[in-house]
Structure 1
Amino acid sequence: MRRLRVLVAGSSVEKAGVLTDELLGAGYEVSTDRVAGGDVVEAGSDFDIVLVGNEADLRGWLKRRVCGCPVIAFGEEAGEDPAVEAMRAGADDYVSLQRPERVVGAVARALSVDDTRRRKEREELYHHVVEQAAEAMFLVEPESWEVIEANPACERMLGYGSGELSGVRLEEIVDPEDLGPVVRLAGESLRVEAHFPISYAHRRSDGSAKRVEGSISVISHAGRDILCFVVYDVTERKWAEDQLRHSVDALLAIYEASQLLSSTLEFEEIGTRLLKIMRRISTLTTAVISVPAEDGRLKVWRAIGFESLWSRARYTPEAQRALYEVLRSGEHRLIELRHPENREEKLSTLYLPLRIHEHTLGVLEVYGPDDLTEGRMVEILISLASKAASALENARLYGELAEREKQLQDLVGKLFTAQEEERRRIAYEVHDDLTQIAVAAYQHLQAYAALPEGAPGRRELLEQVIEMVHKTISESRRVIAELRPTELDDFGLAASIRLRVEALREEGWDVSYDENLGGERLPPTVETALYRVVQEALTNVRKHAGTNKVRIGLWREGDDVVLRVNVSGSPGCGSGSRCSVGGSIS
């Protein structure tokens, strides 16, 4: 029994009972609502049929109705004339009360036409949605694994013209490494008739790849089950995630290296952990630390991944020339090694000097694929090699100090105190600058991942993430560079402060520097202490003073050295603040 909800409208509603009785007798389950003539039916009203009486009011009522269901007019008159008049007014059919049994056929015809019309409208709507969808959609025949149909978004993503994907086999558009898992998942979807999430790489018509994510499901088409893929391009998102992940890994590794270089004085630990850190942040396959032996030849001191290196690759004439040239010149070299038996196989090789005080302690050899030689990665490895050389030199000095007399123990204690202070400073630098940038980049990437493909501002957001990643690398280099200012060892305190002042002026600071040491070098401990005071003072000015106007003075007063850092224009500073450090240097 079919349920039928009927709306009876017009001023002759009491006469419709004979029609609803006929519908009940034909097996319909009828529920009836009534409205007075001329009333408007609200949009979305859930009626199957409208019966309208009083033909004189029919035309005006139909103009106002918005329910959208079939309308059958009824009246006392029989014949063609009242039926034609009702049709002109907008009714779908007409039934005379003289032949009420005809209402059953009229209702059946109206419902059939309405069902066909609605089905056609739904099909047209679904087709329009699929055509306009941003997601790539395509249907696959599970026996031949051929594409039956694909929407325009799929054709654009894979670089095909309209209709060109039809008949293309799945193996032609799915990356070979992903084809097996995709086929297995498709078979499972056919077996249990369920949706499954899917992630794989598509092959485009030009041979390039697109990483996609989405779902696979089974639908019925022409009486058989076929596979429906709905996927969207995540290539840029994956690239951004990989870039951010690599940058964060590099940042953490650099921080770990900073802790290592400032906290350990053990040769073995420095060499082993340094190589592991370098492998983690780069694509290197092999890393070797070579040091000169007593006879002047280079010998392997520490290595990682040595078993994956070609047999005697580092002993080829080209490699040996590069090694000894780096040892002699103190400058890094980048070369490409070819396999002696297979010239198509090659290795990018980077030789980095472990250099301190114009003296090369050894050579760091790095072997790996082409992307190992990218500019930023080379710079990071060079910086780590430089700091490693400082750490190794510190370790050597500590070994010598350990053999000294008890009178040098005080100097050792000061060294540990300086190292603790340096560790604290580095921790603040990383927390206040590097970590904040990394967190901001992560939040921007989350916002980027939440935006759909093609959304306004999506590309700009990605560029902001990339800029933040670049900034993390720049900040990390700055942190590493400040671990130990080499200019202090090479040129002395006065020149080191002058270089720092010039750097601040380039940033737009208003800094004056008055110095009156006459080129005299102070004891290393005094120079280091005074330089750290200047460094910390300028850091505090940058973070807290609210001004960039600074006056620095350095001069002798008898046997004392006076350092003054005066900040003007800062809230709460009044006429300035003075920091003086003095002491006998005789």
Structure 2
Amino acid sequence: MQKPVSSNIESPVTQPLAAAVDSGVADDVLSQLPAILWTMDAELRFTSSRGRALAGLGLQQNEVVGRTLFEFLGTDEANHPAILAHRQALAGEMVRMEDHFGQRDYDVTVSPLRTTAGEVTGVIGLALDITLRRRMERAFRDTERELLGMTVGSPDYVLEIDSEGRIHDVNRTFPQLSKEDVIGRRIYDWIDESDIEKTRDLVRACFETGQVHREEFAVYDPDGKRFLFDSRLGPIRVDGQIVGAVLMCFDLTGQREIEADLRRSEERFRLLAENMPGVVYLCRNDETYSMLYLNDPVEEVTGYAKEDFLSGEVSFVDLFHPDDAAEIERRVDQAIAEHSAFHLNYRIRHKSGQYRWIEERGVALNPEQDSSLLVGYLADVTEQRRAREELQTGYEALQRDLAASESMMQDIVDNTTAVVYMKDLEGRYLLVNRQFLDLFHLKLDNVIGKTDLDVFDEEFAIKFRKNDREVIEAGIPLKFDEVAPHDDGPHNYISIKLPLRDATGKIYAMCGISTDITERIRAEAATKNEQVLLRKLLAVQEQERRLIAYEIHDGLIQDVVGAQMMIERVHEKEVPADGNGQHGEGDERADQLEAARGLLAGAIDEGRRLISQLRPLILDEQGVIESISYLVEEGRKEGFNVEFEHRTEFDRLPALLEGTIYRIVQEALTNVRRHSHATNVQVRLTQHDDRLRLEIIDDGRGFDRAAVPTDRFGIRGIRERARLFGGTGAVESTPGQGTHVWVELPISVLEESPGVS
């Protein structure tokens, strides 16, 4: 074991390895390193241990992490060379020594592990296994013939061959082969055919001259994979005589592949640089940033050809805007000092005299040197910057408009009479309007973030939450009838609830708009009661009409008919007839009787007309279908072509409903007779399930509905009769195109109105 030799010079090997260890990106490479690399913290506790040579000590990668150096060595003796070397490294010195440990010889370098600021935070060590070298040195001192036996464990291929190239021993072979497969065969069995001749010359020269010769040749493994070796062939002497040769083969395959990759990478870089829309450069970090490489787009960006920059005739420093130059230099120097990339935005003067905005990104290639090289990319972003400024201006205007819209929307929400609210998926309130707070006597702080159970009694809250969940699960707007507590008792609400979705379509909240319909329900109930009352009054009226009609028919009409018959008998008895059976003329008494008979006949017709107007007897006796048929016949007598079409399933309807239908037809035909000047009239009565549709259509002159005087009750009366029975109706007419009256009535309405028959 040698005494440690210290130095203040940082190791050119261990410091880059320290960076690789810290970066965490070289684990695979370090694990294959033909050495041992370790790091320790300030307490000399292992933080990593990597390298293929760990296997020589029977250790796995990072197996000793967490153990101290003293535990590893089995001693804490201060003068132990290894302990002393590590303590010197902690003091900032680099120590190199040779050590023997675990029956292996190592060339050891221990260096301080520093931060970028230069602070020592630990130790990094590198141990190269020189066991083979030492053994070979000892073997050559004893006998050159024993050299090959000491090559076991070498990372390279070491073979003992004779003058014919036949292998007598080998330290290791391809994984597919054993030593037995190799020993006794010639090296030419694996060498590329194109390299066999020069390899023969190599062997011949070694045995003839007794000198070490060097050559590169290619070898194929059993799977056909090609390897390139850097080979050194030296003689083995016994008592001064050459009895064999040692062939040491160093695998260059990976190195050549790396070199080829580098060449390809350089070509790709050049191809990429020449085709990029921006400027790619390589320059010195001097006062003018002297250019070593530029691609063609620099002329489009600056107006100057790349040759102007490469020759030094023009520099970017000459083009910097005076207000930007100092900041550019400061930022670049700062990035170099911090070993980081720089990102700049500045202005340059184009050859045309205009200033253009430039965006640049770059990095120093060797920042530890004052004359570091800079590589980077820059582009003209003048138009993008102008567009960005315009976009920013538009965005700010949009923000102002949005703020105004939000304020307007808030005003609308706060001033609507509806209750507006928003809840998250857990039922917590996110927003409520002023109406919500006023109605339920709440403050905003007592609502936001709270659930319905916190705000309302349980019986209301549970129902609200159930409806909210239904909306969220359905994912569509839904309408609900809800009840909420008020000072004067529960109020009825119509609530429209809808899910709110984010940009991805995911539901994140629920919004509700609830309108108090209590007054409307009360008004509807009052209207319904009023309609029932009116129907009852109408029923009473119809009953009175029926009674009056019967009184006229059975009383007055019968008396008048009897009087007419008596006048007829008196007339026949008192006024003699001539020979032809005709009564004489000029008799005053006969004339009086004739006049009385005429008056009585007119009274009978008027009585029957009154009966028809009050309540036609046929309506009670035969129903609404026959009654409408009677009205149709009366219309035909007055010169109209009236057609009646009916498709119904009922036999009879409630008397009040039959009377209403009859009155509507009667009123419509009266309007046709008085105003339409129509020739043809169609009356249709059809049944669809529990609804009746009545239509009266004429081909008369029609009318302008807007010009109908408000005191005309005919059209309004039809609509009101329909509404009274829960139906709808309308009169549609256009001047010159006739009139269409239609009414739809529910058959079941009277079943919901007790006391009406």
Bigger radius of gyration, 1 or 2?
Answer: 2
Same fold (TM over 0.5): no
**Normalization by structure 2: what TM-score?**
0.24
Structure with larger RCO (C-alpha < 8 A, sep 6+)? 1
Greater helix content: 1
**Normalization by structure 1: what TM-score?**
0.30
